[in-house]
Amino acid sequence: MSVDLSLIERSACDVVELLREEAVSPHDLLDTLAAQAARVEPRVNALPTLCFERARAHADALLKKPVSERGLLCGLPVPIKDLTDVAGVRTTRGSLVYRERIPASSDAGVTLLEAHGGVVYAKSNTPEFGSGGHTYNSVFGITRNPWDPSRSAGGSSGGAAAALASGTAWVAQGSDLAGSLRTPSAFCGVVGLRPTPGRVAYGPAANPYDTLGIHGPMARNVTDAALLLDAMCGEVNSAPLSLSEPAHSFLAHARSPRRPARVAFSAGLGIATPEPEILAICRKTMDRLAGAGVGVDESDLDLSAAKPAFHTLRGIAYATSYEDVLAQHRDLLNPNVIWNIEFGLQLDNRAMRSAQRTRAELFHKMNALLQQYDVLICPASIVLPFPVEARDIREAAGQHFDTYIDWLAITYALTLTGMPVIAIPCGMSASGLPVGIQIVGKVRGEAALLSAARAIEEIIGTWATGKPEVH
């Protein structure tokens, strides 16, 4: 056994370089992660299912190949969100319905990631069916924020974000519908990228033509997120919308930061009101960009029409995927999940038509704005990480929310546009909790977005002052 906890502090790109030089082996990394998990997991609960035996077998197979044939990640360990199947590994989707489920085959995205040299060693925690911005479920319980274990890690990729912040992952796979990559990134002080629909393939899915729910990378910095995005890309037969790998790697673009000339800033996209402290930190971030020579303009972008449209389209997605689960296992489901599915089942054609028209209008509005600016920037969450006992947020900054997901409007409004969005940390609250911004790129513009985000990261820094309480 070879444990070197100093490796935890290294970037994913650095660790991959060490793997290529054979200065460390995948087994060294797995030993280190196992030791770190033993230290921090009892307080965080980010990775409730570990599969180190499977990971070691995969590492052994990789080590039989020449270094040049070990893929982009070359044996880098990667946790997979518990919504996504991994062959032979318990995959519960955070639900009592599937609490003992062990799939025989992996999701196509996992297979692709492993083909690119990723080594799966854990499943990260998620709310039931990914249904919310706080990670808890009846199978594994609550995932806690490493900066303050009394606070939420966000959701639904909360386990992935908490693993990154607590040092039990260098990169992590996640997914996003209403903000599930971006909200936990903001809460835990890490990076989460929601790519263009189809950029990261997965499947087979109940609705392979869905463009709301996507998979994407999480990491501790922009460059590491780009590395993982490269390893997640590729056409997959079971995913009809999947895009081919780019001609030039996303990592190369992140390593060539290009400072945006002009950015638009919106406090709330016309649909949300952030808490004053969050808005103040985000405005200070804009001041720092302006001080570095970036042109920053206040935007009057109004995406307020997104609320009914998103509810409708999300409801359709839940009804499509889980109608039979509701009929057969209603007594085992979280009330919020029941509400999601039933809402989708009662929708009429008029609501569906209106939602599609609104989504088109929002896309055209965002596309027009991004013809004038390199990127749009806004807060990644309107609230700070909240106490874990709260199941959701129903009021913030003087706003009352009708449903348990409407506090996520600042992220789900951007989901409807289909534009790539990256969340990065931008500062800390007075209470020592992370705050993040979202950076929105142009259509299919992950390459330019990553380059701009890396340049912004250089100006404002990666980690804010201090270190998570649990690390």
Quote the pLDDT of residue 28: 98
Is residue 467 in some structural domain? Answer: no
Given this model, what pLDDT does residue 1 score? 65
User: What CATH number corresponds to the domain at position 242?
Assistant: 3.90.1300.10
**Letter string b/e over residues 268-292, b meaning 16 or more CB atoms within 10 A of that residue's CB:** bbbbbbbbebbbebbeebbebbeee
Largest CA distance in the chain: 62
What is the mean pLDDT for each group of 10 consecutive residues in the chain (471 residues)? 92 98 98 98 98 98 98 98 98 98 98 98 98 97 98 98 98 98 98 98 94 97 98 94 94 98 98 98 98 98 98 97 98 97 97 98 98 98 98 92 97 98 97 97 98 97 74 87
Q: Which of 451, 444, 14, 461 is nearest to 241 (CA)?
A: 444
In a domain, 465, yes or no: no
Give the gyration radius of the chain's Cα atoms. 20
Task: Establish if 469 belongs to a structural domain.
Answer: no
468 found inside a domain: no
**Count of structural domains within the chain:** 1
**What is residue 463's predicted lDDT score, i.e. its pLDDT?**
55
Q: Which helix (H) or strand (E) holds 192?
A: strand 191-194
Q: Would you say the pTM of this structure is higher than 0.85?
A: yes
- Is the residue at 20 inside a domain? yes
Supply the range of the domain harboring residue 204.
5-460
> How high is the pLDDT of residue 464?
47
For residues 340 and 271, what is the distance between their CA atoms, to the nearest angstrom?
Answer: 21
Whether residue 470 lies inside any domain: the answer is no
Structural domain contains residue 346: yes
How far apart CA 123 and CA 426 sit, in angstroms, is 28
471 in a structural domain = no
Q: What is the DSSP string of 256-290?
A: S----SEEEE-SSTTT----HHHHHHHHHHHHHHH
